[in-house]
Amino acid sequence: MPDDRAAATSIPEPSAPSPEHRGRLMRWASYASVSAASVMIAAKLAGWIATGSVSVLSTLIDSFLDVGASLVNLIAIHHALQPADHEHRFGHGKAEPLAGLAQAAFIAGSAAFLLIEAGHRLFEPQAIARTDFGIAVIVLSIAITLVLVAFQMYVVRRTGSVAIRADSLHYRSDLLLNLGVLASLVLVRELGWTLADPLLAVLIAGYILRGAWMIGKTALDHLMDRELPDEDRQRIRGIALAHPGVRDLHDLRTRASGTQFFIQLDLEMDGELSLNAAHAIAEEVMERVASAYPKAEVFIHQDPHGIHEPHHKFV
C-alpha cells in the first residue's frame, strides 16, 4: 500500500500529457473499471451459485460495490474535467475527492456486510460444493484485476488523479481478497476445513476496512486543502529565493484540487523598486515555479522588504 500522506499530495510526473490526453486517460480508466467489475460480477455470481461459498459471496458483493463505486468515479471524473466557469473559478477538481469519499463508504459497507455473513457461517458451518469451479472463477477474477490495476497505475502516474488512485487502491484490495478466497477454497478441497472459508472472510473484511480508511483520509486531505509535502514546499521556497531580486518570502500556501495544484506566496523585494520592476521579478519567479510544477497555478503577491505587517507565522 502506498503511504496515505504521499497519495494525498502527489504531483504527476513532469512529462505528464496534455490536459486533453490526461482527460482521455482518466475516462478510459473509469470505463475499464466498470467493464472489468461487470465481467467479474457475472463470473462470481455463477461461482457462488455453484459452490455456496461465503468467501466467493464476499467477492461477489465487493464486485457489485465496485460497479457502484466505478460509476461514481465516472460521473465525478466527467465533472472534474470540466473547465473553470463563472461560479467555479478554481475549476471542478474537488469532484474527485468527493468520489473518493463515496468509494470509502462503498468499501466500508461491503466489509460490514461480509463480517455479518462470515459470523453467521462461523456458528453454522456449511459444506462447499464444486470447489474446482469456484477456484477457476477466482483465478479468472485475479487475472482481470491484475490487468486493470496495471492500467490504472499507469494512468495515475501520468495524471495524478485522486479518483483513479482511490479506485486502484480498491482493486488492489480486491487482489488480496481474491487470493484469500482462492486459499480458502483450496483448504476446503484438500483438507476439508470448512471454517477456513468464514475465517478468511473475516480477515479480508478487516483489510477492506483499512483500505476504506486510507481512501477516505486521502479524499479528506484534498477537500481540507492539505499542504503539499515539506520537500515540495522547500523546493518552491528555494526557487523563489534564488532570484537575485527577491529578499525573502512569506505566506507560502499550497493545495490540490483533483489533478490541479495551486501555489500562492508573498515575495519581499526592495521597497525602492518601481511597480514595473517588482512586477517583472514576480513574473520571472512565477515562470520558474510553474516550470518546476507544470500542473500548478501560481499566484504571487509583492511586498516591500522590511515592512512589518500581520501574517501567518508558518512559512
Phi then psi for residue 265, to 5 deg, are: -155, 160
Name the band, by pLDDT with cuts 50, 70 and 90, for residue 181. Answer: confident
DSSP 8-state secondary structure symbol assigned to residue 94: T
Question: Which residue reads 463480517 in cell numbers?
Answer: 115
DSSP helix/strand/coil, 267: strand
pLDDT of amino acid 246: 94
pLDDT digits 0-9 by tens, 46-69: 888 887 777 677 778 777 777 777
Contact 181/138 with Cβ under 8 angstroms?
yes
pLDDT digits 0-9 by tens, 149-171: 999 888 888 877 767 877 787 78
Contact 11/293 with Cβ under 8 angstroms?
yes
Domain boundaries, the chain: 4-223, 230-304
User: Any idea which fold 230-304 has?
Assistant: Alpha-Beta Plaits (3.30.70)
Contact 66/211 with Cβ under 8 angstroms?
no
Instruction: Read off the C-alpha cell for 133.
Output: 469451479
- Return the beta strands (E) in the chain as ranges: 248-257, 260-269, 296-304
pLDDT digits 0-9 by tens, 219-260: 787 777 778 888 889 999 999 999 999 999 988 988 877 667
Q: What is the pTM of this model?
A: 0.55
pLDDT digits 0-9 by tens, 8-25: 445 544 455 666 777 788
Q: Higher pLDDT residue, 30 or 88?
A: 30
Q: Higher pLDDT residue, 8 or 269?
A: 269
Distances (CA, A) of 176 to 126, 170, 201, 211, 240: 24, 10, 11, 11, 45
Question: Which residue reads 486517460 in cell numbers?
Answer: 25
Q: Higher pLDDT residue, 203 or 272?
A: 272
Q: How far apart are the first and last CA of the chain?
A: 31
> Cα–Cα distance between 195 and 298 in angstroms, integer?
58
User: Any idea which fold 4-223 has?
Assistant: Alpha-lytic protease prodomain-like (1.20.1510)
